[in-house]
Amino acid sequence: MENIKLAIVEDDAVIRESVEAYMETHPSIQITFTVDSVEAFLEKARAAIQPQLDVLLLDIGLPGMTGIQGLYHIRQQYPNMDIIMLTTFEEDDKIFDALCAGACSYISKRTPLTKIREAIFTVYRGGSYMSPSIARKIAQRFMPKAKKKENALSERQMQIVQALVDGLSYKMIANKLNISLDTVRDHIKRIYRTLEVNSKAEVIKKVLKGDI
């Protein structure tokens, strides 16, 4: 029989209490505590007897320290705890911030409690649940970005761009490609024009961002 130690951080009393009441009814879930802010959570965590925790439901839009900021601090105390972010649809653009900060699940507050409970079990077992709209955004993040223009560089130009990205100086590029320094300059000049940039830095940024 599982025994999941759950904590809740949610400022809206109505939501907090309804979630708490619902989760409490399940025999495998044990609510360790619920608080209304990250600050309150951290205080509990700092207390002498640091309560053991498996899963945390964390609201993303909190007064004071936001959930995202809080994630960072919370994970210092509980590096192995699984954190489920609760969010309203307006905050969907914070998905990636939250994921980067270490959230492992991201659920809309509109999700039925039964699904949220399911998610708790899922993350406890090493999985992750994402609301469908969230998951879609994540999937899109991986898709090839819409290449705007036909800014196709020639084969040679690509070699030079690559060398630039690798941090080679003009001289080194000339050497590597067995062409003269002036030729390298010539290529780069034209590359800048077709890419509509005017510094090495911008070229590198474009490449690293996948715009090329």
199 binds DNA, rule: CB under 7 A: yes
CA distance 54 to 49: 16
Collapsing DSSP states into helix, strand and coil, what is residue 75? helix
Task: Choose, by CB under 7 A, the member of 64, 198, 205, 208 that binds DNA.
Answer: 198
Of 185, 209, 210, 206, nearest in space to 196 by CA: 206
Q: Smaller CB distance to its own copies: residue 164 or 191?
A: 164
Own/partner pairs, 157-162, CB within 8 angstroms, 24+ separation = 157/187, 157/190, 157/191, 157/194, 160/184, 160/187, 160/188, 160/191, 161/191, 161/203, 161/207, 161/212, 162/207
CA distance 55 to 113: 16
Q: Which of the stretches 17-25, 60-68, 149-157, 194-202 binds its own copies when contact is defined by CB under 8 A? A: 194-202
Contact indicator for 66, 41 with CB cutoff of 8 Å: no
Helix-helix angle 13-24:113-124, to 10 degrees: 60
128 binds DNA, rule: CB under 7 A: no
Task: Choose, by CB under 7 A, the member of 186, 196, 205, 208 that binds DNA.
Answer: 186
From the list its own copies, DNA, none, which binds 185 (C-beta under 5 to 8 Å, kind-based)? DNA
Contacts of 85 (CB under 8 A, 6+ apart): 58, 59, 60, 67, 98, 103, 105, 106, 107
Residues 151-170 that bind DNA (CB under 7 A): 154-157, 169-170
Each residue 48-87 as x (binds its own copies by CB under 8 A) or -, in order, gives ----------------------------------------
185 binds DNA, rule: CB under 7 A: yes
How does DSSP classify residue 130? B
From the list its own copies, DNA, none, which binds 205 (C-beta under 5 to 8 Å, kind-based)? its own copies
From the list DNA, its own copies, none, which binds 2 (C-beta under 5 to 8 Å, kind-based)? none
Residues that bind DNA (CB under 7 A): 154-157, 169-171, 177, 179-180, 182-183, 185-189, 192, 198-201
Residues that bind its own copies (CB under 8 A): 96, 99-100, 102-105, 122-123, 125-133, 135-136, 138-140, 142-144, 164-165, 167, 169, 197, 199-202, 204-205, 208-209
